[in-house]
Amino acid sequence: MIATMAMAVATAQLHSSPAWAQGDTPAPSKVDRAADLFKKAKGLHTAGKLADALPLYLEAWSLHRSPDIAANLAACEIAIGNHRDAAEHFEFALRNLLAGTTADQKTRLTQGFEKAKREVATLRLQVAPEGAEVSVDGRVVGKAPIDADVFVEAGARELRVALAGHETHTQRVTTTRGGTHVLAVTLEATAATPPAADAGNAATAGDPAAPPAGDGGKDEKRASPIPAYVAIGVGVAGLGAGIGLLVMASGKESDKDDRLAAIPGKNKCGPGTTAPDACAEVTSLADDAKQLRTFGYVGFGVAAAGGVLAYLLWPRSGSASSGAVVVPSVGRSGASLNVHGHF
């Protein structure tokens, strides 16, 4: 424990004060504030008060990302067991070494970096197209291309890559401690869909030959008239059956009248009739006529239903006057089925 702490503190003292990179100088107020925080954090770090030093290092880091602060921050993080953040800050310090960094300092940085990496998983991301936002477990790690390795805790991780105009990619990755995982993701562009408003404007304003909405133009998709034809067929069949049954009923009525007229006497089929067999036949004919007439009316009802259904099912192109109307007509002298409209 003492040896580990000594290594961490020694690593923390790579540079005695922040050295700002040329061309990356923050405002004087931030420089002074970061330098003051760094000095206080380093004193606490040297005294072994890591928990007190860490937030001061982090605040200094937020004001300016200097390799000096990154190296000391990483040493503090690895000492308290925060290997993922330590690996990230060690990697930054090594990629941005200041002029004058000694070989011994670089070696200690490298040793700290390798120690941190052994405790976490490394993601090496190859993402396209450029500008795609990459996040791991909901934390944005950058935009493509991702040049630096991404360090994560070992275990199941979720990678998400998103870019406007492209299909979002989500991937579950199982990472291992100390392992390096190379992931290649190329987003696919989504199909371009023109706005509905633009399509409407093109038909009304940009093209004088374009048919008005709902006028039955060639490009307008129309419903099939087959269901309406079926309904018309049912109606015609019902009408035909109704007419046929009424004709049969009329014949039965005529036969009944003829049989009744042939019975002698004024009483005919009244009480005390002299022709009971003939009267029985008259009664049977009357019942048959009544039954046939009833069925005939049912046939007319089917015809009427078929006509209404055909009217409802007939495809319309948008005009209130288009379509077909089927109207059955039943009267005392007969019945008919009238069809009119546009076809």
Asked whether residue 62 falls in the same domain as residue 74, the answer is yes
Asked whether residue 256 falls in the same domain as residue 290, the answer is yes
- State how far the Cα of 37 lies from the Cα of 43, in Å rounded to an integer: 10
For residue 129, whether the previous peptide bond is cis, meaning omega lies within 30 degrees of 0, is: yes
Question: Collapsing DSSP states into helix, strand and coil, what is residue 4?
Answer: helix
- Is 27 part of any domain? yes
User: Whole-structure pTM over 0.85, yes or no?
Assistant: no
- State how far the Cα of 233 lies from the Cα of 307, in Å rounded to an integer: 9
At residue 322, the pLDDT reads: 45
Instruction: Give residue 321's identity as a one-letter amino acid code.
Output: S
Last residue of a domain, one of 146, 172, 191: 191
Q: Which two three-digit tokens encode residue 172?
A: 């579950």
Last residue of a domain, one of 75, 91, 118: 118
Strands (E), the chain: 121-128, 133-136, 139-143, 150-152, 155-162, 169-175, 180-186, 324-331, 334-341
Condensed to tens digits (0 to 9), the pLDDT of residues 43-87 reads 999 999 999 999 999 999 999 888 999 999 999 999 999 999 999
pLDDT at 221 over 60: no
Last residue of a domain, one of 65, 95, 118: 118
pLDDT class for 319, splitting at 50, 70, 90?
Answer: very low
- Is 269 part of any domain? yes
Question: Collapsing DSSP states into helix, strand and coil, what is residue 114?
Answer: helix
At residue 44, the pLDDT reads: 94
- Is 216 part of any domain? no
Compute φ and ψ for 272, nearest 5 degrees. 75, 25
Q: Which CATH number characterizes residue 74's domain?
A: 1.25.40.10
Q: How far separated are the first and last CA of the chain, in Å rounded?
A: 95
Domains in the chain, number:
3
* Helices and strands per DSSP (H, E), number in the chain: 9, 9
Q: Which residues of 281-311 are buried (b: 16+ CB within 10 A; e: fewer)?
A: bbeebbebbeebbebbeebbebbbebbbbbb
Question: Collapsing DSSP states into helix, strand and coil, what is residue 172?
Answer: strand
Asked whether residue 102 falls in the same domain as residue 177, the answer is no
- State how far the Cα of 265 lies from the Cα of 269, in Å rounded to an integer: 9
Asked whether residue 102 falls in the same domain as residue 126, the answer is no
Asked whether residue 166 falls in the same domain as residue 273, the answer is no
Lowest mean pLDDT among 67-76, 123-132, 303-312: 303-312
- State how far the Cα of 283 lies from the Cα of 247, in Å rounded to an integer: 19
Q: Tell me the mean pLDDT in the region 18-27.
A: 51
One DSSP character per residue, 265-321 reads SSSTTSTT-S-HHHHHHHHHHHHHHHHHHHHHHHHHHHHHHHHHHHHHHS---S-TT
- Where in the sequence is the domain holding 62, given as residue range(s)? 1-118
Asked whether residue 102 falls in the same domain as residue 129, the answer is no
Q: Which CA distances in Å does 143 have to 131, 159, 272?
A: 5, 13, 113
pLDDT class for 15, splitting at 50, 70, 90?
Answer: very low
- Is 219 part of any domain? no
Condensed to tens digits (0 to 9), the pLDDT of residues 185-196 reads 999 999 865 555
- State how far the Cα of 87 lies from the Cα of 180, in Å rounded to an integer: 13
